[in-house]
Amino acid sequence: MTTTTNRIRSICPHTKQVLREFDCADQAGVNQVVASAARRFQTSRLDLNARLRLISKLRTLIADNADEIAQLISSEVGKPLSECYSCEIAGVLDTCVWLNSNARRLLAPERIGLANPLALLKKCYVHHEPLGVIGVISPWNFPFSIPMTTVLQAVAAGNTVVLKPSEKSTLVGLKIAELFLQAGFPEGTVNVLVGDGQTGKFLSEHPQLSRLILTGSVRAGQRIVEQTARNLTPVTLELGGKDAAIVLPDAPVKYTARGLVWGAFTNAGQACASVERVYIVDGANTRALIDEIVKQTKQLRVGAPASLADLETGTPNDVGPIIDEAQLNKIAAQVEDARRNGASVLCGGRVLSDLPGYFYAPTVLTGVNHGMAVMREETFGPVIAIMVVQSVVEALRLANDSDFGLTASVWSASVRDAQKLAPHLQVGTVYVNDCIFSHAAPELPWGGVKHSGIGRSHSHIGLMDMVNIKNINLDTARGAGRLWWYPYGAGHAKLFQGGIQAMHGSSLSARVRGAVQMVTHFFKK
């Protein structure tokens, strides 16, 4: 592949060691890879049954190599092994199962009945045909699960894929391409572009893409929309979040605290669906809940993720590193801004400079308000900010007072009471007494509103993004033409005027008069 002089480095965030360096693909390199994917799509597509058989083989391959994959993810992005298995690999395997159980039904031609009796002699079908080359630009925070679930849906639908992984998780991206080849997918079906933002730009501007799917920041999404506009390439964008939790006064203290602490600090808070804002409706348990959140946060072990060998000899850490120094500095700046403007730091609030990598202490803030960056901008780090409010109405107003709308959660002893709030939350997913988990469930759609993105991934809705939905109409009439064809005779308009009243008139007498008029003018048309 032809390359520019640009180079990227894969860096282990808990040691700061360089794992490997890569040349970035330039325009010519991107053209070469996209052309390979286009040739594969145009010349030798596998049928659906063959694709699903290979997805089954891929499932087995991933399961057999789960330890190696988990260790690679952990090494490159610093995720604890437990999260590599549960949040990265498990959902991908479930997606393989879901596609094998549902893709034949969802992608089969569908017969559509028409309501108008004038169309009784028509047979209408909806076909689901692959689009072509799907571009995927994926992030580093879930470097295996996010691209794999998207690529699996694209390939199941019959497309070929060009994947540009984040420059911070190149090794995992290359592993994905390797797994598809090992499973038996023909060369050119899943292709990986190594590179930086400029490489991603070359891909998004490529005229042969049939769709581009990005998971990334709002800024990245805005750039992608500009870059794809010239070719009118359709996009699906899953962008940032500033996810809110509303805690009702009856919420069980320990359970709720445990859920919020996990939702805030899993993956070191580096998830678009992390719980970043908590609105506690004031009640008898308010102080106890805050104290319990602080207690559980202080108990979290922060440090380098354990290796597979370490798991046999000791207790692994709960919270790993921040991905790089720039992100670490952003987190620290938000917390310092909040502290400077009156927030209280109940625990954490500092860079853990005694550790060799990029670590930030899990942090609980109170006394925050919506004038602070920590309540308005995505933090993407181990920080949970708590506001005590006086009513559910105020909690809903503040939860919706955001440019983002990815997920939200409601916590209560009464599932019914919590569920009543769901229609009022301006997000793509509402959880009751849980958070984040549904991204790993292939049956459920994923995406948001406002600045959190455009479109949906996963589920049957995401699968439909991967196909051209083609309407095919068959007319079985013989002899006479259709009533709406030329020539427009003297009674043509009267025939249809009567037909409208016969089918849709507001009373029985109006429908009868319409039918008489329709029959009367049928031979005058």
Spot the catalytic one: 76, 88, 238, 276: 238
524 pLDDT more than 80:
no
- 12 within some domain: no
Mean pLDDT of the chain, nearest integer: 96
Q: What is the pLDDT of residues 341-378, one digit of tens each?
A: 999 999 999 999 999 999 999 999 999 999 999 999 99
Per mean pLDDT, which range of 12-21, 120-129, 475-484 is the poorest? Answer: 475-484
pLDDT of residue 480: 67
Q: What is the mean pLDDT of residues 32-45?
A: 94
In a shared domain, residues 428 and 291: yes
In a shared domain, residues 498 and 465: no
pLDDT of residue 315: 84
In a shared domain, residues 228 and 266: no
- Tell me the CA end-to-end span of the chain in Å, nearest whole number: 67
> Whole domain around residue 304: which residue ranges?
243-442
In a shared domain, residues 250 and 221: no
- 449 within some domain: no
In a shared domain, residues 255 and 211: no
- 450 within some domain: no
In a shared domain, residues 342 and 488: no
CA distance 80 to 306: 7
Enter the tokens of residue 1. Answer: 């592949």
- 478 within some domain: no
Q: What is the pLDDT of residues 290-315, one digit of tens each?
A: 999 999 999 999 999 998 888 777 78
Q: For residue 110, what pLDDT band results from cuts at 50, 70 and 90?
A: very high
Is 238 in the active site? yes
Q: What angle do CA 403, 258, 286 make, to 5 degrees?
A: 75
Q: For residue 384, what pLDDT band results from cuts at 50, 70 and 90?
A: very high
- 298 within some domain: yes
User: Can you point out the beta strands (E) in 28-144?
Assistant: 110-112, 122-130, 133-137
pLDDT of residue 525: 66
Enter the tokens of residue 102. Answer: 């549902």
User: Number of helices (H) and strands (E), helices first, in the chain?
Assistant: 18, 20
Enter the tokens of residue 120. Answer: 């009784």
In a shared domain, residues 140 and 41: yes
DSSP 137-189: E--SSSTTHHHHHHHHHHHHTT-EEEEE--TTSHHHHHHHHHHHHHHTPPTTS
What does pTM read for this prediction? 0.95
1 pLDDT more than 50:
no
Number of domains into which the chain is organized: 3
Q: What is the pLDDT of residues 432-472, one digit of tens each?
A: 999 999 999 999 999 999 999 999 999 999 999 999 999 99
3 pLDDT more than 50:
no
pLDDT of residue 483: 86
In a shared domain, residues 434 and 465: no
In a shared domain, residues 226 and 308: no
The domain that holds 267 is classified in CATH as 3.40.309.10
- 217 within some domain: yes
Q: What is the pLDDT of residues 175-186, one digit of tens each?
A: 999 999 999 999
Looking up tokens 């992005």, which residue turns up? 77
Q: For residue 481, what pLDDT band results from cuts at 50, 70 and 90?
A: confident
Looking up tokens 């959140």, which residue turns up? 293
User: Can you point out the beta strands (E) in 412-513?
Assistant: 429-432, 449-450, 453-454, 467-475
487 cis-preceded (ω within 30 degrees of 0): yes
In a shared domain, residues 223 and 263: no
- 126 within some domain: yes
In a shared domain, residues 284 and 356: yes
In a shared domain, residues 125 and 200: yes
Spot the catalytic one: 24, 87, 272, 435: 272
What 7-11 contacts at long range (C-beta under 8 Å, 24+ apart), as own/partner pairs, is: 8/167, 8/170, 8/194, 8/195, 8/196, 10/76, 10/168, 10/169, 10/170, 10/171, 11/168, 11/324
- 84 within some domain: yes
